[in-house]
A and B are shown apart, each in its own frame.
Chain A
Amino acid sequence: QLQLQESGPGLVKPSETLSLTCTVSGGSINSSRYHWGWIRQPPGRGLEWIGSFYYSGNTYCNPSLKSRVTISVDTSKSQFSLKVTSVTAADTAVYFCARVGSPWGEFDYWGQGTLVTVSS
């Protein structure tokens, strides 16, 4: 059974960089059938896609966040990571990682999510 687990600091200071890692187990991160993504959910609000990376090495980010977001992968550790720079209180959210299927772009497996609070 595929499992994803987010990890990283739960508290980040304003203007600093948020860094999270997603560890994938029970399946391969190296697959052309799927890609991998990050989604966030501010408290009490809806879901926002942050970005994704593909087996090909390409990464794509939400245009509203693009200049601040970096997604990278370490296939040897079955991990992919998210960095968001210059954070503000508006970046406070539960951050999820997920697998994305093809061709319908469904987020079929999710991590449990991790709350990141931006506060001094």
Chain B
Amino acid sequence: IQMTQSPSSLSASIGDRVTITCRANLTINSYLNWYQQKPGKAPKFLIYAASSLQSGVPSRFSGSGSGTDFTLTISSLQPEDFATYFCQQSYSTPVYTFGQGTKVEI
């Protein structure tokens, strides 16, 4: 299963609403997870099952979608949110694939 994210990068300002899209080439139901990665760090797990927020993740993050099309939304961008975001499908467990990433820049 191939995962395609768009855009590859975006520029935004503090307080902006940001939306990132992830598309699967086959239906994956809701087996879609999201991660945030900052330079030189391991990815941080944000959202599972397409829309469920991991404990401790700020509520400005939300996920939606099912089937083949998914979105990650940051409702009001904060300075600490500038990072690269990855989606990951687990429908084809035990084989996993990630999207290529979306870099959110100032």
Binding site for B on A (CB under 8 A): 35, 37, 46-49, 52, 54, 58, 60, 62-63, 96, 98, 101, 104-113
Q: Report 18 cross-chain contacts, Cβ distance below 8 Å, ordered by A residue.
A: A46-B100, A47-B86, A47-B101, A52-B94, A54-B94, A63-B95, A96-B42, A104-B33, A105-B31, A105-B93, A106-B33, A106-B88, A106-B90, A107-B33, A107-B43, A107-B45, A108-B54, A112-B42
Which B residues contact A (CB, under 8 angstroms)? 31, 33, 35, 41-45, 48-49, 54, 86, 88, 90, 93-101
A101 to chain B, nearest CB (A): 7
Residues of B within 8 A of A52 (CB): 94, 96
Q: In the bound complex, do residue A48 and residue B98 qualify as a contact, i.e. CB atoms below 8 Å apart?
A: yes
Collect the chain A residues with CB atoms within 8 Å of residue B54's CB: 106, 108
Q: Which residues of A contact B100 (CB under 8 A)?
A: 46
CB distance from A7 to the nearest CB of B (A): 15
State A63–B95 Cα separation when bound (angstroms).
Answer: 9
Given contacts A49-B96, A60-B95, 6 further A-B contacts (CB under 8 A): A46-B98, A47-B98, A58-B94, A63-B95, A105-B96, A110-B44
User: In the complex, what's the smallest C-beta–C-beta distance from A75 to chain B, in angstroms?
Assistant: 19
Give 6 nearest A-B pairs by CB, closest first: A105-B90, A110-B42, A60-B94, A47-B98, A49-B96, A106-B48
